[in-house]
Chains A and B, each alone.
Chain A
Amino acid sequence: MNSNAERILETVAGFRQLPEGAFNIRHNGKGVNLRNSPGISIIPRKDGKGITVKVKPGTVGEVMHIPVVIDQSGIIDLVYNDFFIGEDCDIEIMAGCGIHNDGLHLTQHDGIHTFHIGRNSRVRYVEKHYGSGGTAKKVLNPVTNLYLAEGAYMEMDTVQIEGVDTTKRVTNAKLLEKATLVVKEKLLTSGNQTATTDYEIDLDGCGAGVNLVSRSVAKGSSMQEFLSKINGNNECHGHSECDAIIMDNAVVTAIPVVRANHVDASLIHEAAIGKIAGEQITKLLTLGLTQEEAEAEIVNGFLR
């Protein structure tokens, strides 16, 4: 990897040297380095378009890294990653995709991730997206399909830091009895970037629950659209919250939908869009910050 690739790898995955545990590193559309661990087996697909991951039942405390780095302009990378996580596991999966596009061509990564999480397993899934380079387009369109068995728990932290021109993020989830999904989404757009996030969560099992929280900042002339649909198909609880700071000439749309198909479904949605409160700026000015420093602190804190 060259220095750009290493920098992107560090930004999205947090390492330059190879990490401990299982990992699969994908660079410019190809798997370049892979390691298994006692509990986690990574099997490359025969067509080269992704991996199948099998986690043994009872695997606890392991962390797997699956970063994707693209620094060659013009690559359109479509990847299918399937995860089969056994019962009673407790693991972390650190994903991330960074594109550095100094060339003239559209560069794109579409990662389709499907998780089958076994009974009573806990998974923390972290996904960072980042773009850098020139004016040629950098596009990331992740699709995440989640199937949570009885008592399974998944926490999904997604962050799009900066530099991605267009993204459409689709997440579909089906939760069985007493399964829980917690989603924390952080998104920053600027310039003429566009971002759409689209969630559809089916709470099928008795006692299933979802807490979906999105915080975003839209700057410049960027456009964001937040769509979330929670279907309460049983006795369940669901909460979605979209909180956006809008700046400059940006446009933000929030369309939360909650649909109760069962009398004992308890569903709440909240959506708030607004500029930075003037009193917040004033407070930080009284601490000696400039207007620009105050805005940056507020935005950084909001997206932390």
Chain B
Amino acid sequence: MLELKNISFEVRDEQGAGSREILKDVSLCLEDREFMVITGPNGSGKSTLAKIIMGIVKPTRGQIVFDGTDITEADVTERARMRIGYAFQQPVRFKGINVSDLLRLAAGHELSNDQACRYLSEVGLCAVDYINREINASLSGGELKRIEIATLLARGTRLSVFDEPEAGIDLWSFQNLTRIFEKMRNDHNSAAIIISHQERILRIADTIVMLADGRVVKQGSRQEVMPYLMAHAEPCEIGKNFCPDLQRLA
């Protein structure tokens, strides 16, 4: 379904004198209905890779093929119309655009109240309370995140890219989130790429790609990659301070 071939992305450094490579020769392949999690430390290039797949960022080198078509030069709108969807890590706020507007735009046609409410119910939001709410600062980060996921449901995407979908949904359960991923796969035969650090997300992946310093350091099935990740996981700074004996997580 999706193939990234030797993707690299460089940015000019702040002084403008040199350049810095954010992604280095990244190649990966996603099959129909596959559920891929891309993980790795902060700054490893995960979000940049997600933006490259959606067309928000253009790679410096490399090729992207989607359903047999070279989409490297396709812009965001063209990719969206090929039914590639993208859920932002930090959902965007608007003044004046409300939840039903965004769902209508996502679906690409007028939606009945019932249809709009169904998408909201799927993400655990009471439709009556939210359907006419403006997508502005009055909504919490968690509410925005769920609305963001509801827009992808409304789009009926072939490929969905989620940038850290679990962030801010503490009050909702991971179980619900994974149920939605499953539903998208079943209803639309769709595949998903999920950027995540969360072990609970990793545990439901078909395949896992680990990035570090802009390179793919490990990729394969969950069964192959999970033991590697667990063996190489480092405790966070807080963990180190509170558990000085803990050098490595088993």
Chain A residues packing against B (C-beta within 8 Å): 215, 243, 277, 279-280, 282-291, 297-298, 300-304
A280 to B101, CA, bound (A): 14
Does B85 contact A297, Cβ atoms closer than 8 Å?
A: no
A42 to B52, CA, bound (A): 65
A297 to B76, CA, bound (A): 17
Q: Report A-chain residues with C-beta under 8 Å of the C-beta of B108.
A: 287-288
Q: How many residues of B contact A (CB 8 A)?
A: 24
Chain B residues packing against A (C-beta within 8 Å): 54, 56, 75-77, 80-81, 85-86, 88, 91-92, 94-98, 101-102, 105-106, 108, 151, 155
Does B77 contact A290, Cβ atoms closer than 8 Å?
A: yes
Q: Report B-chain residues with C-beta under 8 Å of the C-beta of A290.
A: 77
A243, A283, A286, A302: most-surrounded residue (chain B CB, <10 A):
A286
Does B81 contact A297, Cβ atoms closer than 8 Å?
A: no
Q: In chain B, what residue has the closest Cβ to A286?
A: B86
B105–chain A nearest beta-carbon distance, Å:
5
B160–chain A nearest beta-carbon distance, Å:
11
Does B76 contact A302, Cβ atoms closer than 8 Å?
A: no
Does A285 contact B77, Cβ atoms closer than 8 Å?
A: yes
Q: In chain A, what residue has the closest Cβ to B92?
A: A283
Compute the total of residue contacts between A and B using a CB distance below 8 Å: 59
Q: Report B-chain residues with C-beta under 8 Å of the C-beta of A304.
A: 96
Does A301 contact B92, Cβ atoms closer than 8 Å?
A: no
The answer to whether residues A287 and B106 also contact, given A280-B92, A298-B94, A304-B96 and a CB cut-off of 8 A, is: yes
Q: Report A-chain residues with C-beta under 8 Å of the C-beta of B94.
A: 280, 298, 301
Q: In chain B, what residue has the closest Cβ to A290?
A: B77
B49–chain A nearest beta-carbon distance, Å:
16
Q: Report A-chain residues with C-beta under 8 Å of the C-beta of B76.
A: 282, 285-286
A286 to B82, CA, bound (A): 11
Q: Report A-chain residues with C-beta under 8 Å of the C-beta of B151.
A: 287
A275–chain B nearest beta-carbon distance, Å:
13
Does A282 contact B105, Cβ atoms closer than 8 Å?
A: no
The answer to whether residues A297 and B97 also contact, given A280-B92, A288-B108 and a CB cut-off of 8 A, is: yes
Does B81 contact A288, Cβ atoms closer than 8 Å?
A: yes
Does B80 contact A285, Cβ atoms closer than 8 Å?
A: yes
Out of A284, A297, A301, which one reaches B95, CB within 8 Å?
A: A301
Q: Report B-chain residues with C-beta under 8 Å of the C-beta of A286.
A: 54, 56, 76, 80, 85-86
B137–chain A nearest beta-carbon distance, Å:
12
A291 to B80, CA, bound (A): 13
Q: Report A-chain residues with C-beta under 8 Å of the C-beta of B75.
A: 285
Does A287 contact B97, Cβ atoms closer than 8 Å?
A: no
Assuming A243-B95, A301-B95, what are 8 further A-B pairs, CB within 8 angstroms?
A286-B85, A287-B102, A287-B108, A288-B155, A290-B77, A297-B97, A301-B96, A301-B101
Does B97 contact A289, Cβ atoms closer than 8 Å?
A: no
A215 to B95, CA, bound (A): 10
The answer to whether residues A284 and B96 also contact, given A289-B77, A290-B77 and a CB cut-off of 8 A, is: no
Does A297 contact B80, Cβ atoms closer than 8 Å?
A: no
4 closest Cβ pairs, A-B complex: A301-B96, A301-B97, A288-B80, A285-B76
For this complex, 10 residue pairs linking A to B, each with C-beta atoms less than 8 Å apart, are A215-B96, A277-B92, A279-B88, A280-B92, A286-B76, A288-B81, A298-B94, A301-B96, A301-B97, A301-B98
Does B88 contact A283, Cβ atoms closer than 8 Å?
A: yes
Q: In chain A, what residue has the closest Cβ to B91?
A: A283
B192–chain A nearest beta-carbon distance, Å:
15
Does A302 contact B92, Cβ atoms closer than 8 Å?
A: no
Does A287 contact B101, Cβ atoms closer than 8 Å?
A: no
B95, B105, B151: most-surrounded residue (chain A CB, <10 A):
B95
